[in-house]
Amino acid sequence: MKSFEDNSLLQKTLSDIVRDNFKSAAVFEKYELDYCCHGKRQFLEAVNEKNISLTELISDLESLEPATDALDVDFTVVELDSLAEYIITTHHSFVREKLPFITELGRRVVQAHGAKHPEVFEITALFAQVHSELESHMMKEERILFPEIIKLARAERGELPYTRPPFNTIMNPIHVMEAEHISTGDAFEKIGQLSASFTPPSDACNTFKVFYAELDGFEKDLHRHIHLENNILFPKALALEESFN
């Protein structure tokens, strides 16, 4: 990454920086900076809110290599229908696999450790909220919003005529999806606080350790998932819809 001063990156939003090089997401995860649900905040604003070292953060970001590996896909140039399908097959599938597994781990941890570690009661309650929200959320995306985005992409290629969605504009369901992203993100932020950033206590059994590790991995995937939607798929879909009107 080139100098922040040279490229005015200090004035960019968190989502802009991650969109330019997704490897910066790992740095933001390290400093617990939310680049997805609240990614529209300016970099400096977000850093000041967290009261973290700007020098260290910039050093970590500037040490990153460009995202040029074979596995580093530039999703900003992926066609909208392919991106929507990627989100479903990769991230929605991951969520559906992990939700019941993590829920069961939480139940076992509460049963074995709840008396000594009462925070796990609130953690599992918050995850139950996330579980319910995401099941409904993904259903709405797959049945309502994404089909209309796929139609837009096909209309752009001339494969079918453009038609307005039954809800007039995709902006309406997008606003709902973004609000739900914030709710889920806020719940996970609280889980992170209650779990000391997913750090198991000294007396944690293996199930307890796996529970926190799975929550940590789930949140990281959720951040990438929401970033692809909020910061790439939705803005590009709205711009494409506007081009037809």
pLDDT over 70 at 35, yes or no = yes
**What pLDDT digit, counting tens, does each position of 109-168 carry?**
999 999 999 999 999 999 999 999 999 999 999 999 999 999 999 999 999 999 999 999
Predicted pLDDT at 72: 62
Predicted TM-score (pTM) of this structure: 0.80
pLDDT over 80 at 10, yes or no = no
Q: Among candidates 56, 59, 67, which has minimal Cα distance to 25?
A: 67
pLDDT over 70 at 53, yes or no = yes
Give the pLDDT band (50/70/90) at residue 8. low
Predicted pLDDT at 180: 96
Tokens of 51: 């009261």
Tokens of 103: 């829920």
203 SS3 class: coil
Average pLDDT, the chain: 89
CA distance linking residue 42 with residue 40, whole number of Å: 6
Annotated domain spans of the chain? 4-62, 75-244
Least confident of 40-49, 137-146, 165-174, 231-240: 40-49
Tell me what the mean pLDDT of segment 24-31 comes to: 82
Tokens of 45: 């604003």
DSSP 4-67: HHHHTGGGSBHHHHHHH-TTHHHHHHHTT--SSTTTTSBHHHHHHHHT--HHHHHHHHHTPPPS
CATH topology classification for 4-62: SP0561-like (1.10.3910)
Residue 55 CB partners (closer than 8 Å, separation 6+): none
CA distance linking residue 104 with residue 98, whole number of Å: 10
Tokens of 131: 């579980």
Share above pLDDT 90 across residues of the chain, in percent, rounded to a whole number: 68
**What pLDDT digit, counting tens, does each position of 90-106 carry?**
999 999 999 999 999 99
pLDDT over 60 at 5, yes or no = no
